[in-house]
Structure 1
């Protein structure tokens, strides 16, 4: 049978929590201008690249407005050229006193007005070009179309949701944790994740951030963890979807040390007693030693071990396997666990 020597070690507390998967990026795409949908280029499930066209709004009216604005620019340039020529002509006459100074100032003011009119017309052209560009709905990042919410011919206004995009390559685990543990969790802490819908899908995650806001109903706060690696990464990542439920174990330091034994070493009786079997007269491996049953007071459990608050001392040899068939004074040979 197998046994171990118990020594003092840091005591941890394990807290089971649950939550769901969230994509690294998730965006609801809407139009910035009004119009009816002239073309839709993607559907739900399509992979898209940043800058790729998702849909186009009708451009006819905007193109007409742009042509009007460009005509206004030409008109303003012509007016500015005319006023500049008139100003140049009177500048030559003012030295000979052939024209009043007031008239010269009026012509100079007209040049300033025409310059401002030209700048306004050019700004309107830029505005119409920007509006025309915004009639092409583009993907803001690489990802997958999670939902398509528009069709050709539909009228849309600014803010109307057209598509939902996600990035499936990276995920966060958003966990709801009881508020009493808030101060004991820090960014960078490692936690163990279990994807609820997949077998053998344990993952290591790192605490990314904790949100300092307690939910009124559950008295929990949001803990966001970044998934680092998976047991079977390729298989699991193909099966991951946003919203999938996850469970996690938080391993929190208690700030104290003590004795802990494997959970299999404990024997629990119907009357509430909890005991372990220890060797007497020594703690050597490979030598026949008598065993005795000791009543212990267990504490918290963590990582397959149970804290022993009283009943054991350091360096005691505790029987881990085969302890159910032991009796007082029986001699056994103990070996190290594999």
Structure 2
């Protein structure tokens, strides 16, 4: 008979029995816990576990504020161009075929009105003048004789000693003599003009910008003799963008820069036409006497138009969201910002003009606005 202690069937039987009991016990335990939990929920004896108290959210960003102020904010208008003469007079010859005798002026020399610029050979005009004077004297003598004959004929006609035909002839002779005298006077005037044309004089005060002839040259009608800068007045023809022209007026102050030199000037006129190719307009800036500039020099003009006060904020207070300029306002006593859509204008020295969206005295976020959204909590710190 086999030993019961060593029978494999008997040894493995309890182990299989134990393995069949564990699933049953686990299921019973789960059912029991479910019943207990349901009872506790039904009677309200057990409360759900308490979540830890949510800590208050910290401010999203530390920012600085700036007030919305009203002040004059003029946008500086920049233009550049060449220095030119206010009026450059081209002095030409009115006669031709005459030789230049002398040019008693030099380039850059100031001249007075009526001063001699160029002297032409006057031998031929002088001879023509002498001839015209002789012809004039002859015409005057002929008229005198004709008038005397007419007077005698008139006296004889009263007594009937002279025929009517003779009297008519004397009257006609006087008229012809008077006409010849007028012609002689005209020729005399022409000769005087020709004589005057041999002396080319300065029509105004100014400075000789160019001397175009030298002694010995034979001039032709209309040939340039010299150029004058009238009254020695210079100006800067500054080219300015078309959008800036509307703010410019004659008399506004201008700062002209040429190298290290700074010159106080003013606007004389604004050209009424804008170049279609460049969209630039010309602003004529009158330069003061003794500016040291010369025609042809290149200079820069800085103009600050006079404008009315406007609401301004720091430039960093205005940020863009989806292409729209916005600013963040912090109400007095509050800690959450409000987003405002704004319209901006001129900019100068770190400030920007706000034409709509803000009111004077409101506080806007100056630094840190780029990281904010509407309703964010902020902590305010003093600007450094």
TM-score, structure 2 as length reference: 0.66
CA distance in 1 between counterparts of 2:196 and 2:293 reads 36
CA distance in 1 between counterparts of 2:328 and 2:150 reads 111
2:116 equivalent in structure 1: 53
Is there any run of 5+ residues in structure 2 with no aligned partner, and where?
A: 1-64, 368-377
Corresponding residue SS for 1:114: helix
Per-residue deviation, 1:54: 1.0
1:84 equivalent in structure 2: 147
1:250-305 deviation line (CA, Å, top 9, x unaligned) = 556888x7532456x67999xx99999999978xxxxxxx9x9x999784444423
1:21 equivalent in structure 2: 83
8 Å CA contact retained: 2:116, 2:199: yes
1:219-269 deviation line (CA, Å, top 9, x unaligned) = 333332334x6xxxx8xx3521123223334556888x7532456x67999
Flag the structure with larger Rg: 2
Q: Which one has a larger percent strand, Structure 1 or Structure 2? A: 1
1:285-328 deviation line (CA, Å, top 9, x unaligned) = xxxxx9x9x9997844444232346886532568999xxxxxx8
Q: Which one has a larger percent helix, Structure 1 or Structure 2? A: 2
1:95 equivalent in structure 2: 158
CA distance in 1 between counterparts of 2:185 and 2:207 reads 39
8 Å CA contact retained: 1:21, 1:245: yes
Among candidates 301, 307, 323, match of residue 248 of structure 1: 301
2:382 equivalent in structure 1: 332
CA RMSD of aligned residues (A): 4.1
- Report how many aligned residue pairs link the two structures: 307
Q: Structure 1's 299 and 267: CA in aligned 2 closer, same or farther, altered over 3 A? A: closer
2:283 equivalent in structure 1: 223
8 Å CA contact retained: 1:55, 1:137: yes
8 Å CA contact retained: 2:78, 2:302: yes
CA distance in 2 between counterparts of 1:296 and 1:254 reads 24
2:181 equivalent in structure 1: 118
1:260 equivalent in structure 2: 312
CA distance in 2 between counterparts of 1:48 and 1:319 reads 65
CA distance in 2 between counterparts of 1:202 and 1:330 reads 46
CA distance in 2 between counterparts of 1:330 and 1:181 reads 39
Per-residue deviation, 1:62: 0.3
8 Å CA contact retained: 1:150, 1:163: yes
2:254 equivalent in structure 1: 192
1:306 equivalent in structure 2: 352
2:202 equivalent in structure 1: 139
1:130 aligns with 2:193: yes
CA distance in 1 between counterparts of 2:310 and 2:133 reads 82
CA distance in 1 between counterparts of 2:117 and 2:171 reads 51
2:33 equivalent in structure 1: none
Is there any run of 5+ residues in structure 1 with no aligned partner, and where?
A: 283-289, 322-327
CA distance in 2 between counterparts of 1:45 and 1:204 reads 23
8 Å CA contact retained: 2:75, 2:348: no
